[in-house]
Amino acid sequence: MSVTTYEIIDGIGVIRLNNPPVNALSHALRDGICKAVKKAQKDASKAIVIICEGRTFIAGADITEFGKPPKAPSLPDMLNVIESSNKIVVAAIHGTALGGGFETALTAHYRIALNSAKVGLPEVKLGLLPGAGGTQRTPRLAGIEPALDMITSGNPIAAAKAEKLGLVDCVVEGELLQGAIAYAKSLAADKAQLKRARDIEIKPSKSQALLFERYRAKMAKRARGQKAPQNIIACVEAAIGQDMDAGLKTERELFMELMTGPQSAAMRHMFFAERQGAKVDGLAKDTALRPINKVGIIGAGTMGGGIAMNFANVGIPVTLIEVNQEGLDRGMGIIEKNYAITVSKGKMSEAQKANCLKLIGGSTHYDALADVDLVIEAVFENVDIKKEVFSKLDAVCKPGAILATNTSYQDIDAIAGATSRPADVIGLHFFSPANVMKLLEVVRGSASADDVIATSMAMAKTIRKVPVLAGNCYGFIGNRMLRPYGREAQLCLIEGASPEQIDKVMQGWGMAMGPLAVGDLAGLDIGYKARQGLSAEQKGDPKSYCIADALVEMGRLGQKSGSGYYKYDPATRARHNDPEVMKVVEQQAKAQGIARRAISDEEILERLTYAWINEGAKILEEGIAQRPSDIDVVYCFGYGFPAYRGGPMHYADHIGLDKVYKRICEFAKQHGQANWAPAKLLKQLAKEGKTFAQWAAR
Ligand code: T1G
C-alpha cells in the first residue's frame, strides 16, 4: 500500500498521505511527498493540496527512525521542495498537526484547518526542539512571544486560536478535502501570492532582550535542569534580525546538540515506555472488556474524593459511601474545593464543574452499590478493615462487578480471600492527589481474571491515567522501591549528613522534592503509625527510623504540624533549616553508637539512586514488573523522577550496569549484605556487559 497518492481533482493537484497510525513522516512519506510536488510542477494543476487519510494530519517526524542513519530525502530537503514550489501549496489539517507535521504545514504557502483540529510543536516533550524550521517560521507568522509560549510548552492550540495568531489562514467545518480544493481554487483564481514565512523579517527591538531574559529565567525554573527549553529560546532569538537560512543554521546546530544528548534519549524512551506500559504481555488482544458505566467508592476521604473526580471528569457517575452523613459532607467539601481550584486555574469552567458534581452522589448504605460495575475501596490502610469492607461488597455487588482496592501496600490475595469471587478482585493504586497524579498501578492478584485486568488497564486510559501492571508484593513497584531509597536517606542522615544536604542533592539532581521534604509533606506520623504494627524484624534497622520516630514523638509531624525535618512558615509553608533537628540527629547517632562523618554529595546520590536500581532489578527478577520501562514509567509519573533522566532503570543503563554493580558491591562491604546484597539480575547483566533494555528485548 502506497503511503502517498497524487491525482488532479477539479484542477487541483491533491497529494493524499496514508501512513497509519498517525501519518508520521517516515522516509517513504517524505519521498512520496517530494515526488508528488515535483510532478505537480509540470502538470495542469492550478494549485496543490496536501491532505492526510486516517485520524490526523502528520503528527511529526517518525520517532522510531531517530538514531538511525538518515535516508534522503531528509525532512529539510522535503520542506525545501514544498516551499520552492512555483504553484501554491495548501496544507489541509485535521486531527493534530504536530512537530514536523506542523512544520510541513508552515512551509506550505497556505493552511486550512477543520475547526476541530489542533496544531502544535511538542518536541520539547521529547527533549528536542522543532528541527525543521518551526523555531524560525512560527515567530515570523505569529510573533515572538506566542512562538515562545507554543514551543517551550509543547502544548497544541486549537485551529481557531492558530488562525488568530496567523498560523492558519482558514478554518472550516464539514468535509475537509472539498473545503481545501475550493480554497485552493479561489487562491489560484485570485492569483494569490506564494506566501512564504521565510520572506517575513523580524526587526530587532530593545524590548526583545528583556523578553528573552524573562523567558530564560522562567524556563530555568519551570523546566529545571532541561536543556531543550533554553535551546528553543536561543533559536527563536536567532530568528530576529537575520535571514531565514542563518536562523535555520542555528536551529540545526542546537537541534543536533539535543538529538545526540542523553536528555532527549531519556524522554524519547519515556514516550514509548508510557505506551508500552499500557500493554499486558500474554493477554489476548481481543479480551472482552467489562462495561464500566457506574462506579462506587468506599471512603470519601482525600483519596476517595480524588478518585471520584477522575470518573466524574469523564462523565461516569460515582456513588461515594461513607459511614455517616458527616463523613459524606466532609468528602463532598473536599471535592468541591478541588474543583474550585481547577476552575480558578482556568482548567475547567463553572458549568463543567457543576456537571461533574452532579455525577457524584453519596450514601451511608452499601446497598446503594447494588448495580455498580466497579467499586474502589479507599479506606484506612489496614488489611483487616479492608477485608471487612470486601466481605460486605461481596454480599451487595452484582455478579461481574469489579471489586478494587486502592491499597498502597497490602496483600491483594488476602483481601480477595475475604470474598467469594477473588477473580473479580484487583488493586487500583492511585497516587495522591488522586485527581492530579497520572500514574495508576494496576495490581493483579493471583486470581484476578484476564478480563478484569484488561478492563482495569483500559479504564485507566479512559480516566486519563497512565497505567502500569504490577504483581502482588508489599508495596508493589513504586512503594517497594521507595523503602530502600528512604532507608538510605535515613542512614545518610544519621551517619553524618543533614536534611538540607540530602534534599539539596536529590532536588539538584532533578527530583521534584528531596526525600525528607517529601516525608514532611506526607506526614511523618504515617510511617510512625505503620511501624507500630510491625515486629522489630519487620521494622528493620532501628538506625533507619529512630530519627523519624523521635521527631514524631516530639510532635514534629511535618508540614501539618509546622515542623518535621524542617520548620515551616505557618502562612506560606516556606521551609527553613532547623538546628533543633540536628540536635535530635546527633542524639540518635550517639544512642546508636555512630561516630558521624562527612558524607559527600556523590555518596548520597549513589546510595539513594542505586537503592532504587537494585530493588528494581529484584522486582524484574520476581516478575512483579513486566519490563524495566514499566518501572521507569512508575517513577516518572508517580514519584517526581525527572523524565529527562528516563526513570531508574534507563538511568542505570545510561551509567552502565557494571559501574552500578561494582559500587553496590562496595556498599555491601561497607554497610552490610542485608541492605546491599546485589540483585542476581544486576550481577548477571553487569557480567555480560548488557543493559536492562537489552534484557527486556531478549
Ligand atoms: N513517530 C512514530 N510513532 C508515533 C509517533 C511519531 N511521531 N507518534 C505516535 N506514534 C505511535 C505511538 O507510538 C503509538 O504506537 C501510535 O502511534 C498511537 O500513538 C523534526 C524532530 C499523535 C497525539 O511528539 O503526541 O517531529 O503503541 O498511543 O493517544 O521538528 O501519539 O500503537 O505501537 O500516542 O491517539 C513530534 C507524538 C515528533 C507527537 C496521538 N511529534 N505523538 O495520540 O495515540 S519529533 C510528537 C503524540 C519531530 C521535528 C521533530 C500522540 C498523538 P503503538 P498514541 P494517541
pLDDT in tens, 317-341: 999 999 999 999 999 999 999 999 9
The CA radius of gyration of the chain, in Å to the nearest whole number, is: 28
> Would you place residue 595 in the very low, low, confident or very high pLDDT band (cuts 50, 70, 90)?
very high
User: So where are the chain's domains?
Assistant: 4-259, 295-470, 478-599, 602-696
User: Does the beta carbon of 100 lie inside 6 Å of ligand 1?
Assistant: yes
Could you identify the residue written with the cell 495568531? 165
| DSSP-derived pairing of the beta strands 374-377 and 402-405 | parallel
- Please determine, for residue 134, whether its predicted confidence score (pLDDT) is greater than 90: yes
pLDDT for residue 652: 98
Specify the residue with its C-alpha closest to ligand 1, atom 52. 59
User: Does the beta carbon of 24 lie inside 6 Å of ligand 1?
Assistant: yes
pLDDT for residue 530: 83
Query: Which class does domain 4-259 fall in?
Result: alpha beta
User: Does the beta carbon of 276 lie inside 6 Å of ligand 1?
Assistant: no
Burial class, 420, CB count within 10 angstroms (exposed 0-12 / middle 13-18 / buried 19+): exposed
The answer to whether the CB of 638 falls within 8 A of the CB of 437 is yes
Grid coordinates representing 220?
Answer: 530555568
Task: Over range 432-457, report the average pLDDT.
Answer: 96
Burial class, 474, CB count within 10 angstroms (exposed 0-12 / middle 13-18 / buried 19+): exposed
Return the CATH superfamily for domain 295-470.
NAD(P)-binding Rossmann-like Domain (3.40.50.720)
Closest approach atom of ligand 1 to CA 61: 26
- Please determine, for residue 534, whether its predicted confidence score (pLDDT) is greater than 90: no
Q: 99 CA to middle of ligand 1, Å?
A: 10
List residues with catalytic annotation.
Answer: 103, 123
For the segment 178-190, what is each residue's pLDDT rounded down to a tens digit? 999 999 999 999 9
> Would you place residue 538 in the very low, low, confident or very high pLDDT band (cuts 50, 70, 90)?
confident
Buried b (16+ CB within 10 A) or exposed e, 8-32: eeeebbbbbbebeebbbbbbebbbb
For the segment 375-429, what is each residue's pLDDT rounded down to a tens digit? 999 998 888 999 999 999 999 999 999 999 999 989 999 999 999 999 999 999 9
- Please determine, for residue 474, whether its predicted confidence score (pLDDT) is greater than 80: yes
Task: Over range 516-536, report the average pLDDT.
Answer: 90
Q: 479 CA to middle of ligand 1, Å?
A: 30
pLDDT for residue 529: 87
User: Does the beta carbon of 59 lie inside 6 Å of ligand 1?
Assistant: yes
- Residue 689 to residues 607, 650, 653, 661: CA-CA distances in angstroms? 22, 15, 10, 11
Residue of 22, 93, 135, 267 to mutate, ligand 1, most atoms within 8 A of C-beta: 22
Q: 513 CA to middle of ligand 1, Å?
A: 30
- Please determine, for residue 531, whether its predicted confidence score (pLDDT) is greater than 90: no
- Please determine, for residue 1, whether its predicted confidence score (pLDDT) is greater than 90: no
Are 478-599 and 602-696 the same fold in CATH? yes
Q: 119 CA to middle of ligand 1, Å?
A: 14
- Please determine, for residue 67, whether its predicted confidence score (pLDDT) is greater than 90: no
Q: 69 CA to middle of ligand 1, Å?
A: 20
Task: Report d(CA 47, CA 294) in Å as an integer.
Answer: 53
For the segment 249-272, what is each residue's pLDDT rounded down to a tens digit? 999 999 999 999 999 999 999 999
**Closest residue by Cα to residue 4 from 45, 50, 62, 40:** 50
> Would you place residue 128 in the very low, low, confident or very high pLDDT band (cuts 50, 70, 90)?
very high
Q: Which residues pair with 302 in a beta bridge?
A: none
Specify the residue with its C-alpha closest to ligand 1, atom 28. 275
Q: What is the reported pTM?
A: 0.94
Q: Tell how far CA 231 is from the center of its chain.
A: 22
> CATH number for the 602-696 domain, one of 1.10.10.60, 3.40.50.150, 1.10.1040.50, 3.10.150.10?
1.10.1040.50
pLDDT for residue 70: 84
Could you identify the residue written with the cell 514550489? 85
Could you identify the residue written with the cell 497544541? 156
- Please determine, for residue 373, whether its predicted confidence score (pLDDT) is greater than 80: yes
Closest approach atom of ligand 1 to CA 63: 1
pLDDT for residue 281: 95
Task: Report d(CA 505, CA 442) in Å as an integer.
Answer: 32
**Closest residue by Cα to residue 411 from 387, 391, 378, 431:** 387
Query: Which class does domain 478-599 fall in?
Result: mainly alpha
**Closest residue by Cα to residue 222 from 134, 138, 130, 149:** 149
Burial class, 344, CB count within 10 angstroms (exposed 0-12 / middle 13-18 / buried 19+): exposed
pLDDT for residue 99: 97
